[in-house]
Homo-oligomer: A and B are copies of this chain.
Amino acid sequence: MKVGIVGLGLIGASIALSLKDKVDLVVGLDNDLEVLRIAKERKIIAYGGTDCQSVPSDVDIVILALYPKAIIKFIQDNKKYWNKNQLIIDVAGLKNEIVTTIQKELPGVEFLGTHPMAGREISGIKGAREELFLGSNFIITPTEKNTQESIAKVKELALLLGVKNIYEMTPVQHDQLIAYTSHLPHLMALALVSAYEEGSEQIVGRSFLDAVRVADINENLWTELFLANKKYVVTELDKLIAELVDFKKLIAEDNVLELTEKIREIKIIKERIKQ
């Protein structure tokens, strides 16, 4: 298996590190020469360059590890390089627009959307780690345009990364659920830090530190993600705000019974979410 990775940021470079001793060849593209220099020096890729001409045309799998909008642009700008023997996948945190647009743009080439559920606070190639995906969830969003063979190949790739679970869902289901499980926790962390009280760093316990951990996000990537998934993000924010307003009401009116009962019910739901 020969793998080409486009974009050597945190995710792309971590995939390269994880695959390089398990597949025949890992080559990489990045438009930042300094990133390419680091990638070669740290032997993250065998070789690479800034454009599609720098990599061999017989790459089996092309992995697009760019921001969502950049993925669509890259596909469009490089149409002449794609061929029918390749499988192209992306690893972006949103799926519907990317999958729909690219499957329409490239009817002769197979494209499959994926989302490895892993990340860390250090962005870019300097945050790359071979074990980033160990034990994580890996989502694939095949459509009727994908073959069983390609789906099997992507699952094989995910297992090489060391993921724990592989889940299949539609691109729309993915974007709806991700608004709840990822965009909302990140917005909560941001909102909590933004409500900062002077002197409070003296009195933090683990609950606070965990709650603010993911406030350290790349502002450009996440602004793009929040806006691109606006419809579902706004719906989830409304639900969360309604829950907080309900808690506020129960607390303000000293409603011991309903508050106790609500917390008890929430613990039952949480049992189901546990992994």
Contacts and interface: CB of A to CB of B under 8 A. Distances in A.
A40 to B, nearest CB: 30
A271 to B, nearest CB: 9
Contacts of A263: 190, 217, 219, 222-223
Contact residues of A: prevailing secondary structure: helix
A234 B184 CA distance: 21
Contacts of A176: 197
Chain A interface size range: 35 or more
Which of A248, A260, A264 has most B Cβ within 10 Å? A248
B139 A203 contact: yes
Given A210-B214, A227-B259, A203 B185 contact: no
Nearest to A238: B248
Number of copies: 2
A210 B184 CA distance: 12
A254 B266 contact: no
A109 interface: no
Interface string A212-225: 11111101101100
A245 interface: yes
A241 to B, nearest CB: 5
Interface string A193-214: 1111101111111111111111
A187 interface: yes
Given A117-B205, A223-B263, A241-B241, A247 B192 contact: no
A266 B230 contact: no
Contact of A180 (B137, B178, B197, B267): B197
Interface string A177-188: 110111011111
Interface stretch (A31-39, A45-53, A152-160, A166-174): A166-174
B195 A239 contact: yes
Contact of A230 (B236, B254, B264, B272): B254
Interface of A: 117-119, 136-137, 139, 165, 167, 169, 173-174, 176-178, 180-182, 184-197, 199-217, 219-220, 222-223, 226-227, 230, 233-234, 236-241, 243-245, 247-248, 251-252, 254, 256, 259-267, 269-270, 272-273, 275
Sorted nearest first, the 4 A-B pairs with minimum C-beta distance are A191-B243, A219-B263, A117-B205, A185-B211
27 contacts: A167-B202, A169-B202, A169-B203, A176-B197, A177-B197, A177-B203, A180-B197, A181-B205, A182-B203, A182-B207, A188-B188, A188-B211, A190-B247, A190-B266, A191-B240, A192-B240, A192-B243, A204-B275, A207-B214, A210-B210, A210-B213, A215-B270, A216-B267, A219-B263, A222-B263, A226-B259, A227-B259
